[in-house]
């Protein structure tokens, strides 16, 4: 596949994407609360500005008059209306095309570039999905009654994620064991009999508007669990679960191991479950002791070992030392499910650094919690950003940018009703007005972080959707206009001023709302359209982050401190293991180092 896509093609694509992102940075690089309605200067000499001022006039006209259904069809690429300006249509097409083109470079694939073979080996149960331009893990529907009892104790999303993640881990490990038995002298590990023929994207094909965040998981037969109760089988890799929280995933994988290999097969830990939060760690220890009775097995605690430890870049050497004591002479699979912010990056560093880390399986989360100067990780992407514009990172990479990249899937927004859209508009307008009140009374905290926490607490306590009967009743009708809600929001905040503001200060109800009414109406009318533009941008931004993490590993010219002319990884790329509507951070980074030496 990679031989068909030259480095020049990638360089040109990355350049075009970065130029595009830079040109339209005003669509994503702003705070909804603070930048839609920004007050500059001191009262009464106040000047109002907004990110909406950057919207082209022709875009404003159509975005503020389009219905929710029309906006959804526009984002989905199914609208046949002639009202959309040509440059807006071009923008939407470029978002889709660039997302899909970049997705080609992160597809899960063999990294043996010296063999020009289009038949790319995949993990069993994984299939290439031409619609989403990614490799999908088929949903595993088969569960025992004991499993169902365990999974029913947690939210549907969490139980779904545990089942999918454990299914993929079982497929990986079983493939290694089977291959090791069949071909003990081979340095490479053939992980699948399922193959697909890769074809470069035709930009004019019917799937051009589809991507990993829009298309549901591929619909094929469900995976059947391969239960092998054989005490002679050995798990080829220890699992090291980073950011394990309450231990639900580690415990569930342990149960699957017992089902696969038998109840009496384990004399040493097979899973190291690492968590930095002491409170969660203690609760996880309690959960672990209850697992024997819950799963009807014995010696459950002999399989899972808990470790209280904070994983970060500065502590990786110490972690390696601890792991070498816990699992001497054993390779391991580095596992992370929804690892927030810098934790994902630290795991990638550990994987590259530790020769015992043979496989990494990582689903990231909360990109906006990353330390900004740590993105991008790859030298390649950072170099291209600086070549595009010396101030590219400053202009385009912010907390707001990364937050959009990890918001809910556009698939969720495409299924919004008028009620959903109106709830969003009302809450957003109410928060903007509250922000103005706090600024007017100089009530905001000195730091931005404290301001955001303060506003979040206030808006959670004073939610007009929940606490204003009139607004709640308005939501029963689909056709809501600005004048229907504006006065009620004003009244709502006036009634709660004494609760919000310091009671020792004199409070005037003359908040000059009438001075800003037209501006608030302008914002109200454009909120759905601006949100639609962000739905187009979200998959592109997330794909760029996924690309960066993968390229950080692929671009390494040496592995474990040893220089080599051959490629360091046997296979690498992303597998989509979750349905984006259920779990929007659905892409799992899966990389295996070459010459996998299983130390039993």
pLDDT in tens, 25-55: 999 998 888 788 877 766 667 677 888 889 9
Residue 501: count of CB within 10 angstroms of its CB? 16
Work out whether strand 332-340 and strand 271-275 pair parallel, antiparallel, or are unpaired: unpaired
Compute the average pLDDT of residues 551-563: 64
Give, as one character, the DSSP assignment of residue 489.
Answer: H
Work out whether strand 332-340 and strand 357-365 pair parallel, antiparallel, or are unpaired: parallel
Here the contacts of 62-68 (C-beta below 8 Å, separation 24 or greater) are 62/88, 62/529, 63/526, 63/528, 63/529, 63/530, 63/532, 63/533, 64/522, 64/525, 64/526, 64/529, 66/528, 66/529, 68/416, 68/418, 68/421, 68/528
Measure CA 45 to chain center: 43
Residue 238: the pLDDT is 92
Contact 68, 422 (CB under 8 A): no
CA Rg value for the chain:
26
Work out whether strand 569-576 and strand 126-129 pair parallel, antiparallel, or are unpaired: unpaired
Q: How far apart are the first and last CA of the chain?
A: 34
Q: List the structure tokens of 523.
A: 């914002």
- Does residue 209 have a pLDDT over 80? no
pLDDT in tens, 451-487: 555 555 565 567 888 888 888 888 888 788 999 999 8
pLDDT in tens, 245-265: 999 999 989 888 887 777 666
Residue 197: the pLDDT is 34
Residue 379: the pLDDT is 95
pLDDT in tens, 178-193: 555 555 443 333 333 3
What distance in Å separates the CA atoms of residue 132 and residue 207, rounded to the nearest whole number? 8
pLDDT in tens, 138-148: 877 666 766 77
Q: List the structure tokens of 153.
A: 């104790």
- Does residue 109 have a pLDDT over 90? no
Q: List the structure tokens of 540.
A: 């592109």
Q: Where are the alpha helices (DSSP H) in 397-512?
A: 399-405, 410-414, 418-440, 448-461, 464-467, 469-474, 482-495, 497-500
The answer to pTM > 0.75 is yes
Domain boundaries, the chain: 1-243+311-600
Residue 280: the pLDDT is 95
What distance in Å separates the CA atoms of residue 221 and residue 132, rounded to the nearest whole number? 18
- Does residue 273 have a pLDDT over 80? yes
Length of the chain measured in residues: 600
């Amino acid at each position: 596949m990679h031989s068909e896509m030259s480095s020049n093609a990638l360089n040109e694509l990355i350049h075009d994407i970065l130029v595009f992102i830079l040109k339209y940075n005003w669509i994503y690089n702003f705070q909804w609360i603070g930048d839609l309605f920004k007050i500059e200067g001191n009262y009464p000499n106040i000047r109002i500005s907004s990110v909406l001022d950057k919207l082209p006039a022709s875009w404003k006209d159509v975005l503020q008059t389009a219905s929710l259904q029309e906006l959804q069809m526009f984002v989905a690429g199914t609208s046949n209306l002639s009202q959309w300006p040509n440059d807006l249509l071009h923008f939407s097409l470029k978002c889709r095309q660039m997302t899909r083109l970049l997705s080609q470079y992160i597809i899960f694939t063999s990294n043996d570039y010296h063999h020009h073979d289009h038949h790319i080996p995949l993990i069993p149960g994984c299939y290439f999905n031409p619609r989403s331009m990614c490799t999908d893990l088929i949903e595993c529907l088969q569960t025992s009654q004991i499993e169902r009892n365990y999974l029913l104790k947690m939210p549907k999303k969490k139980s779904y994620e545990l089942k999918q993640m454990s299914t993929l881990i079982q497929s990986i490990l079983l493939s290694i064991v089977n291959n090791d038995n069949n071909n003990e002298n081979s340095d490479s590990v053939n992980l699948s009999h399922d193959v697909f023929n890769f074809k470069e994207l035709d930009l004019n094909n019917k799937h051009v508007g589809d991507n990993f965040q829009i298309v549901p998981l591929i619909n094929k037969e469900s995976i059947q669990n391969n239960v092998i109760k054989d005490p002679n089988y050995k798990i080829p890799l220890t699992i090291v679960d980073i950011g394990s929280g309450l231990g639900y995933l580690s415990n569930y994988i342990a149960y699957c191991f017992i089902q696969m290999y038998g109840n009496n097969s384990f004399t040493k830990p097979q899973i190291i479950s690492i968590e930095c939060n002491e409170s969660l760690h203690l609760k996880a220890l309690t959960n672990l002791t209850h697992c024997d009775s819950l799963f009807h097995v014995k010696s459950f605690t002999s399989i899972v070992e808990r470790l209280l430890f904070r994983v970060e870049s500065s502590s990786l050497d110490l972690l390696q030392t601890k792991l070498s004591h816990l699992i001497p002479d054993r390779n391991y699979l580095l596992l992370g499910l929804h690892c927030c912010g810098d934790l994902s990056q630290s795991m990638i560093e550990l994987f590259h650094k530790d020769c015992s880390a043979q496989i990494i399986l990582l689903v990231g989360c909360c990109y906006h919690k990353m330390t900004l100067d740590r993105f991008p990780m790859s030298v390649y992407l950072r170099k291209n950003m600086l070549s595009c514009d010396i101030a590219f990172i400053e202009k385009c990479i912010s907390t707001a940018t990364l937050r959009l990249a990890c918001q809910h899937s556009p698939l969720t927004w495409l299924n919004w009703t008028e009620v959903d859209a109106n709830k969003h508009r009302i809450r957003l307008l109410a928060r903007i007005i509250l922000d103005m009140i706090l600024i007017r009374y100089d009530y905001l905290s000195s730091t931005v972080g404290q301001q955001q926490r303060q506003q979040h607490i206030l808006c959670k306590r004073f939610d007009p959707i929940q606490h204003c009967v009139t607004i709640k009743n308005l939501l029963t009708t689909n056709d809501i206009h600005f004048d229907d809600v504006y006065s009620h929001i004003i009244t709502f905040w006036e009634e709660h001023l004494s609760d919000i503001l310091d009671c020792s200060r004199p409070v005037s109800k003359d908040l000059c709302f009438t001075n800003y009414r037209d501006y608030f109406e302008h914002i109200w009318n454009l909120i759905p359209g601006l949100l639609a533009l962000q739905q187009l941008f979200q998959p592109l931004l997330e794909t760029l982050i996924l690309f960066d993490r993968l390229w950080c590993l692929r671009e390494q010219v040496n592995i474990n401190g040893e220089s080599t002319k051959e490629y360091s990884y046997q296979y690498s790329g992303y597998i989509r293991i979750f349905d984006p509507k259920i779990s929007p951070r659905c892409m799992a980074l899966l990389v295996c180092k070459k010459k996998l030496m299983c130390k039993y």
